[in-house]
Amino acid sequence: MDPRYTNVIDLNDMGTAWWLGVVELASKIYDDPAKYAKACEGKIMATLFYEPSTRTQMSFQTAMLRLGGTIIGFDNPATSSVAKGENLKDTTKIVSGYADIMVMRHPSDGAAKAAALTADCPIINAGDGGHLHPSQTLTDMLTLYREKGRLTDLTIGLCGDLKNGRTVHSMCKALAGFEGVKFVFISTPQLGMPQYIKDILKANSRPFTEEASLDAAIPQLDVLYMTRVQKERFSSEEEYERLKGAYCLDRAKMAKGRRDLIVMHPLPRVDEIPMDVDDDPRAMWFKQASYGVYVRMALILTVLNDPHHKTPLITGKIHNGVECANPNCITHKERYLPRYFRGTDLLECEYCDERTLN
Ligand code: NCD
């Protein structure tokens, strides 16, 4: 299906040159923000947040306001017609007619793509369930670009809830294309990286190892990316309680890291990094969050300056009667959605990338 707009749903739809363009523009804006103060005058951005957010929502809003544009939207679907039972298609179709660009966060995997099927403006995915979070990945790339000076030749440890964390899924998919990047997945078997992400790394000949111990992994790392255990993605409270304290980056562990290590975290943190580590010069989480505004300014500008980028929205076919194997896929909630899948025997859901046997 031909795209009508430049939708930023999955960074891999756009390609490395496009992301580097955004990261380089963000870095220029960081150095001279005043130059861009009127770049979006007269433009309206809608933020539809069906799920809690602090940084992503406010940094997108700050970005548009700093570009001279204005914002509309909701951060609590209970105060919109969603509370009256309105479906995703109708809400996003209507709001996309009011705005020039729409930023959306939703608890279901694949929701941003579902909205893009019918929206009348470009959509940016601000997090869809446990699936992807492209604007966070661009923020992480700007952090690497400015703090390590490169996006290649890096050993990156990802620690915590690799199963449910959309930030780490997005990051691995994107950095799979960069030379010399090696991943160390630090997690328990219950919180391990999904197979489909490992398969993407294998297909790109990108090496990764799996390690249960943060102590053992930290000495070899250039970058450590910590994540919280994603409470809201667990079906049982007991399971969450059992796993939530699995990793804690305390000062003793930091002492084992290299002097030029940088430690990132998309935030919010719960108990995986004690606050007495904040003053370590290798702690990047607050700076990383501040880079998010400049990345989102660059992202808004890039999309609005090229609103009709030719990335196909759907490459597969409709398979009526096949249900996606992922229980959190948007197709299970919004039943009118066409069941688009890529492939033939092993069908890959167009919305959430989960694989289902035909
Ligand atoms: C992340 C998210 O929402 O996925 N937060 C963010 O956007 N900075 C990480 C998280 O919630 O753990």
Q: pLDDT for 98-149, tens place per residue?
A: 999 999 999 999 999 999 999 999 999 999 999 999 999 999 999 999 999 9
Q: Is residue 270 part of a domain?
A: yes
Which atom in ligand 1 lies closest to the alpha carbon of residue 133?
A: 4
Q: Is residue 2 part of a domain?
A: no
DSSP 205-266: T--EEEES-HHHHGGG-SEEEE----GGG-S-HHHHHHHTTS----HHHHTTS-TT-EEE--
pLDDT of amino acid 345: 87
Q: Is residue 106 part of a domain?
A: yes
Are 193 and 332 members of one domain?
no
CATH number at residue 348: 2.30.30
- Hey, which of 50, 62, 104, 133 would you mutate to test ligand 1's pocket, going by the most ligand atoms within 8 Å of its Cβ? 133
Residue type, 100: D
Distance CA 312, CA 158 (A): 31
Judge whether 77 and 111 are in contact, CB under 8 Å: no
Ligand 1 center to 345 CA (angstroms): 34
Report which of 309, 298, 331, 289 is spatially closest to residue 33, judged by C-alpha positions: 298
CA 238 vs. chain centroid, Å, equals 27
Are 255 and 298 members of one domain?
no
Which atom in ligand 1 lies closest to the alpha carbon of residue 230?
A: 12
Q: Report the domain count for the chain.
A: 3
**Greatest CA span in the chain, whole angstroms?**
56
Are 321 and 217 members of one domain?
no
pLDDT of amino acid 2: 61
At 3, the pLDDT band (50, 70, 90 cuts) reads low
Ligand 1 center to 346 CA (angstroms): 30
Ligand 1 center to 136 CA (angstroms): 8
For ligand 1, say whether the CB of 166 is within 6 Å of any of its atoms.
yes
Are 142 and 274 members of one domain?
yes
At 353, the pLDDT band (50, 70, 90 cuts) reads very high
What range defines the domain where residue 197 resides?
Answer: 134-290
Structure-token match 């729409």, residue found: 102
Ligand 1 center to 285 CA (angstroms): 12
pLDDT of amino acid 312: 86
Are 158 and 214 members of one domain?
yes
Distance CA 284, CA 124 (A): 25
Are 86 and 198 members of one domain?
no
Q: Is residue 5 part of a domain?
A: no
Which atom in ligand 1 lies closest to the alpha carbon of residue 166?
A: 4
CATH number at residue 278: 3.40.50.1370
Q: 27: which residues sit within 8 A by CB, 6+ positions away?
A: 142, 145, 146, 294
Report which of 144, 132, 178 is spatially closest to residue 264, judged by C-alpha positions: 144
Are 140 and 271 members of one domain?
yes
pTM for the predicted model, two decimal places: 0.96
Q: Is residue 6 part of a domain?
A: no
Judge whether 80 and 98 are in contact, CB under 8 Å: no
Q: Is residue 93 part of a domain?
A: yes
Tokens of 329: 């896929």
Which atom in ligand 1 lies closest to the alpha carbon of residue 227?
A: 12
Q: Is residue 311 part of a domain?
A: no
pLDDT tens sequence across 295-304: 999 999 999 9
Ligand 1 center to 266 CA (angstroms): 6
